[in-house]
Amino acid sequence: MNTLLRSFLVVPVIAAAFFTAVPAATAGEVTIEQLDDRFRVSIDGELFTEWQLKAWKVPYLYPVIGPNGENITRHYPMKDGVAGESQDHPHHRSIRFSHRKVNGLSFWAPDNNTGDRTCSIVLDKVEKMQSGETGELIFWNNWIGDDKQLLRERVHLVFHPLADREVLMDYDNELFADDVPVTFEDDKDGGMGIRVAATMRVEDRKEKGAKAGDDVSKVGQGTIVNSEGLENEAAWGKRAEWCDYSGPDASGKTVGVAIFDHPANLRFPTHWHARTYGLLTANRFGKGVFEKSSGATLGEGDYTIEPGKSLALRHRFYFHHGDAAAADVAAKYSDYEQEK
């Protein structure tokens, strides 16, 4: 079914429960450990990723080891001085869920809040941690703003190893408002996102203030493509069921990561903040920005969680060999959208 047509037929669902369906083909043993400052996830004894609990004001997944054994997210700012890496946007930290305007606070770039305003996301408790053919981790976070709790967040991570070191990772989260309304304001900066390794980028970041003739857009070897077939810059701000970012890892072999938007999610299919310099986020709170050229006005993307209510979101990451076509990302998404 055409994606845009489907967007009128799917009713957004705000649910209190998550459902996990394990893909038929799994390969590998997942081990999850809780350390003092992180959760460590290994597959067949080799590191896959770590959930960083205390490295910054908000948590994130880093590193993320791709199917060739190379990290496939940018090292900066967790590791400085890596050859070929740009040092823009230090808040683009590997993989995480965030937003720039949550009741006026930036959980997207928490170091950049104005005045004496502050925010952080801290671990509250672990609900479940299970190793095996499929690894599962459920924990609760508290979103703190100006020393007061704004949201409670239930994070549900599921790791499905596939053949040839490919991995499916479910990243589901549910956000619960406490005693005040919490508004995710219309903005492009936010969502479920990844900053890919510098080797995978489409091009370098275009610098503001550049003059004609400046070499500010070096061509890389990466490709962005979405479920509608739009590529690279054309994918920015567009709605799609999935979006994929592929390119060479440090070994020179092509790998990719796709993010899937579940049909039950709010405002499915989501808009994508897809940047050719390496950023990819599924952002459903930015309609006024992304559709400005079509007549949308700022504020149309606002979404408020009322006191005592919640918003549940489901996403899947597919870490694969090759580009989106070679990995048959569309077929993997078809399997995902049929899961309950």
pLDDT (tens digit per residue) in 95-120: 999 999 999 999 999 999 999 999 99
Burial degree of 232 (CB within 10 A; 0-12, 13-18, 19+): middle
User: 3-state SS of 246-292?
Assistant: EEECCCCCEEEEEEEECCCCCCCCCEEEECCCCEEEEECCCHHHHCH
pLDDT (tens digit per residue) in 151-210: 999 999 999 999 999 999 999 999 999 999 999 999 999 999 999 999 999 998 765 554
Cα angle: 77, vertex 103, 151; to 5 degrees: 80
The reported pLDDT for the residue numbered 339 is 86
Q: Taking all residues of the chain, what is their mean pLDDT, rounded to a whole number?
A: 91
Kindly state the average pLDDT of the residues 40-51.
Answer: 98
pTM for the predicted model, two decimal places? 0.91
The reported pLDDT for the residue numbered 218 is 60
The reported pLDDT for the residue numbered 17 is 42
pLDDT (tens digit per residue) in 277-316: 999 999 999 999 999 999 999 999 999 999 999 999 999 9
Q: How far apart are the first and last CA of the chain?
A: 18
DSSP-derived pairing of the beta strands 30-34 and 119-130: unpaired
At residue 213, the 3 state secondary structure works out as coil
Burial degree of 91 (CB within 10 A; 0-12, 13-18, 19+): buried
The reported pLDDT for the residue numbered 9 is 34
* pLDDT more than 90, % of the chain: 83
Chain centroid to CA 180: how far? Answer: 26
Kindly state the average pLDDT of the residues 44-71.
Answer: 98
User: Distance (Å, rounded) from C-alpha 52 to C-alpha 84?
Assistant: 24
Per-residue buried b or exposed e for 289-306, using 16+ beta carbons within 10 Å of the residue's own CB: bbbeeeebeeeebbbebe
Kindly state the average pLDDT of the residues 58-66.
Answer: 98
DSSP-derived pairing of the beta strands 190-195 and 95-99: antiparallel
Kindly state the average pLDDT of the residues 70-86.
Answer: 94
The reported pLDDT for the residue numbered 83 is 87
Q: Which domains, from first to last, does the chain contain?
A: 26-205+218-337 (2.70.98)
Asked whether the predicted pLDDT for residue 67 surpasses 80, the reply is yes
* pLDDT more than 70, % of the chain: 88
pLDDT (tens digit per residue) in 120-139: 999 999 999 999 999 999 99
Asked whether the predicted pLDDT for residue 66 surpasses 70, the reply is yes
